[in-house]
Amino acid sequence: MTASPHPYGRPAPLRRQLILKGLLPMTLVALALTVSLGVLHFRATSVESYAVARIQAVRIAASVNALASEDATRDALARALSRSAPTQQAVLHRQGDDDLVVDSGRRLGSGRPIRVWTSTSQGELETVSDATVLHERRFAGMLMTLLLCVGVVAVFLVTRRALERDVVVPVERVRGRIDEFLHPRGTPSTAASDDALRAIDNLLDELVGLRARHDKAMADALRQRLQDIARHTHFVEQIGDHFRQPLQALALFVAGMQPGEDLRQRAVLGQMRSSLMRLNDLLDGLLEMARFDAGAIEPTMTDLIASDLFVRERATIETDATRLGVDVRWRGGRLPLRTDPALFGDVLHRLVGNAVLSTPNGRVLVAMRRRGSTVRLEVRDNGMGLEPTLQARVFEEFTRLPGHPGYGLALAVARRIVDTLGGRIGVRSSPGRGTLFWVELDGAAAGPAAQTFALLGRHAAH
């Protein structure tokens, strides 16, 4: 499809500026130089031809100055004419006697000849020279001048077209795009002008003003967002305090109860303690999600090695792993990384705890590996696995996994932590064959790009 040469507005004013102020003066100068060269050539050719005729006339006149008889004069003129081409004829005008006419025998051209008069001792000598060569050279000069003028005009037209295509149309297109961006709904442009460059300048001024207003609006929005985060954080803290105080008081009250030998009372007291623990866990999960959603938590990056996280997590999970008969293996402990140890350790705790609960009397492999500047954490178990429908929503709030106590907030909080760290989290599972949870943190690798620490690394606490 061929674009219109004037797709935006009228490029004629800009075209006139380029032609009248730039291209046309250069073209006129070139034409003037060409005509001047032609005139100079015409004059130089005429001067040269007349000079040659004058020299030959003087030479012929010199040959007859010392002669007295008519025959000797005629012979001298004939010999001089034979050596003086293109002079064709000599006429000696004698006082009181007939003119002596001597012809060289060469045919005289049909054009106007060159006539030169010279004084001699016998009278005035008139020489007639053929001007055919002069006319031919004049014609060639005129033709050359005409061709040069045509070439200059052709270059002018081609350059004019190229300017329209390569300058005028792009400038108008830029003007149209800026105008369309600033006035998307067809509102009249305040920068409408016949001068495209001035119109673009006005549009740019308007764009700068729009950018300034946008920056101010963004700054106000950011300030408002920070204030909302502060209010939200304060509200969450107040909610946590108001809920936690009665829960702690109730927990102390239940802990002080002595049911005695009544089995029913013992069962009720156990259910109360379990419910209080679950309420505390639910409150902690909700408050933590609220803090992450409010953006109140900022990661603090620190250089560490993976074994620092593994040692703490191994001590934390050891009791549950022993109780459930789960063999937990740790790999890649020597891997250096840069991340927030508290947040990343929390993600590790939640994933390992989830794997241990899903794999009674099974095996869990925790591996840290490096891929370029990316650190990848993998927690793999050989437990019951997850159905595809459950995998799609495993990181959503209140999604409970089979056989897991609680309210299904651990993995939802883990996803929020990974998002805060600027990473990605995912799951891959096969029902009946186990589950793999993975976390990738771009740019978290520290130290030189050495060997990959995956399943071949040795953990310092193993």
Q: Lowest-pLDDT range, 170-184, 302-316, 424-438?
A: 170-184
How many Å apart are CA 192 and CA 200, to the nearest integer? 9
User: Both tokens of residue 70?
Assistant: 């008519």
Q: Lowest-pLDDT range, 48-52, 107-111, 302-306?
A: 107-111
Predicted confidence band at 393 (pLDDT cuts at 50, 70, 90)? confident
What pLDDT is attached to residue 84?
77
What pLDDT is attached to residue 283?
63
Q: Lowest-pLDDT range, 216-225, 294-303, 328-337, 372-381?
A: 294-303
CB–CB of 348/363 below 8 Å? no
- Tens-place pLDDT, residues 363-389: 999 999 998 889 999 999 998 888 888
H/E stretch holding 288 reads helix 263-293
For all residues of the chain together, what is the average pLDDT?
Answer: 79
Say if residue 401's pLDDT is above 90: no
Cα 214 to chain centroid, rounded:
23
Vertex 204 angle, CA 202 and 206, to 5°: 70
How many Å apart are CA 305 and CA 370, to the nearest integer? 12
How confident is the model over 150-163, as a mean pLDDT?
88
User: Both tokens of residue 182?
Assistant: 């600033």
Continuous H helices in 164-262: 169-182, 196-255
CB–CB of 14/23 below 8 Å? no
How many Å apart are CA 420 and CA 224, to the nearest integer? 21
Helix, strand, or coil here: 302? strand
Vertex 62 angle, CA 57 and 68, to 5°: 120
Q: Is 1 exposed, middle or buried (0-12, 13-18, 19+ CB in 10 A)?
A: exposed
Say if residue 355's pLDDT is above 80: yes
Pick 260 or 388 by higher pLDDT: 388
User: Both tokens of residue 47?
Assistant: 């001067």
What pLDDT is attached to residue 232?
65
How many residues in total does the chain contain?
Answer: 462
- Tens-place pLDDT, residues 58-94: 888 888 776 667 778 788 888 888 887 788 888 888 7
Residue with token string 């651990």: 410
Q: Rounded to whole angstroms, what are the CA distances from 106 to 21, 103, 115?
A: 58, 8, 16
Neighbours of 147 (CB within 10 A): 11
What pLDDT is attached to residue 435?
93
Say if residue 1's pLDDT is above 60: no
Pick 33 or 134 by higher pLDDT: 33
How confident is the model over 226-237, as a mean pLDDT?
66
Q: Rounded to whole angstroms, what are the CA distances from 29 to 25, 33, 231, 232?
A: 6, 6, 76, 76
Q: Lowest-pLDDT range, 29-38, 42-51, 342-351, 405-414?
A: 405-414
| Helix then strand then coil, % of the chain, to nearest 5 | 55, 15, 30
Q: Is 214 exposed, middle or buried (0-12, 13-18, 19+ CB in 10 A)?
A: exposed
Say if residue 405's pLDDT is above 50: yes
How many Å apart are CA 91 and CA 100, to the nearest integer? 6
What pLDDT is attached to residue 338?
92
How many Å apart are CA 175 and CA 140, to the nearest integer? 50
CB–CB of 444/374 below 8 Å? yes
How confident is the model over 7-18, as a mean pLDDT?
57
Cα 329 to chain centroid, rounded:
49
What contacts 359, CB < 8 A, 6 or more positions away? 324, 326, 381, 382, 383, 384, 434
How many Å apart are CA 343 and CA 348, to the nearest integer? 9
CB-side neighbour CA atoms (13 Å) of 452: 12
What pLDDT is attached to residue 459?
41
